[in-house]
Amino acid sequence: MGTGNYAIHILLEDPKWEFPRKNLVLGKTLGEGEFGKVVKATAFRLKGKAGYTTVAVKMLKDHASHSELRDLLSEFTLLKQVNHPHVIKMFGACSQDGPMYLIVEYAKFGSLRNFLRESRKVGPSYMSGNDANRNSSYLENPDERALTMGDLISFAWQISRGMQYLAEMKLVHRDLAARNVLVAEGRKMKISDFGLSRDVYEEDSYVKRSKGRIPVKWMAIESLFDHIYTTQSDVWSFGVLLWEIVTLGGNPYPGIAPERLFNLLKTGYRMEKPENCTEEMYNLMLRCWKQESDKRPIFADISKELEKMMVKNRDYLDLAASTPADALLYDDALSEEDTPLVDCNNAPLPRTIPSTWIENKLYGRISHAFTRF
């Protein structure tokens, strides 16, 4: 691509969003994909603010094509419209005299997927009490403490609020996953990566017409089979994201090759309940994975349910001892072995109100998962 695409930018300059390129100092790469990358940067006098502000800058790589540029410009257009505490905030763009840069807020802890995986390292050293310094910093710095079930529900709730907002804006994300949620200071969740997002003001669904790399394990049945994307297909992806959160960054459908998923899902099979997951949370996942999209909950109702769960989990039970030890969950390369799945359509609903983690702890009804290190 090189400099070949700059000519079209002259038509796109938006004085409200244009940021002087000379006021931006690019730093280290935070993450990169096949066609794009995100770098940490310092912006001088951002939005009239004195001094320097740490930001993230999204850009394309030199060999990216015009379709990737279109995606970046589409993201730019979308981010101009959105303003919500749980959706990544855009500060401006450099669209003239050089490559296209999107300037967005900096998320200190990176992707939720990596944050969850890193949290497994924090837990045991705090729990074991071997490290006095860790114990004191735990009290002083909540960002470094081990994750509790209450924290995980809070993460899910924050994301559901962001998605509820996008749904109200008639925007479909199309690639909702832990890798596309960023964690900012104070463990604030920020929905990100609108590269695949599409505006659906005209219709409530977007039909994908071109072939490309698709995130099979996060996609709803109707997206996989009919290329239909709606807010309700985002709800399916949210169910998979819930599973990722509860397993502290596990890989969905561990051991199952993506090409085998098509038939498995069509026959009604879904992932089984993770060991360290309440019936209530698992029941929510299963409802997100209903075959008919209109039978899935909407994001407004999901937010309310998670809010109730947060109230129940005021007394936190530490997850450090209950992280799954199954290597299959965390090995991206494994795809041959089977993992138990459940039939979603025939799964019995809990006959009674599911007991909370705290009740389990109090009355000793506790699985071996909690004692595993």
**Annotated binding-site residue numbers for ATP:** 31-38, 58, 179
Contact 262, 223 (CB under 8 A): no
Residue 360 dihedral angles phi and psi, to the nearest 5°: -55, -45
Contact 154, 308 (CB under 8 A): no
Q: Which residues contact 71 (CB under 8 A, 6 or more apart)?
A: 195, 196
Contact 344, 269 (CB under 8 A): yes
Binding-site residues for Mg(2+): 180, 193
Dist. CA 106–CA 111, nearest whole Å: 11
Q: Which two tokens stand for residue 6?
A: 């700059």
Catalytic residue among 71, 151, 175, 318: 175
Furthest-apart CA atoms within the chain: distance in Å: 69
Query: Could you confirm whether 318 is annotated as catalytic?
Result: no
Q: Work out whether strand 171-172 and strand 101-105 pair parallel, antiparallel, or are unpaired.
A: unpaired
Binding-site residues: 31-38, 58, 179-180, 193
Dist. CA 207–CA 340, nearest whole Å: 32
Question: Could you count the other beta carbons within 10 Å of the beta carbon of residue 55?
Answer: 23
Active site residues: 175
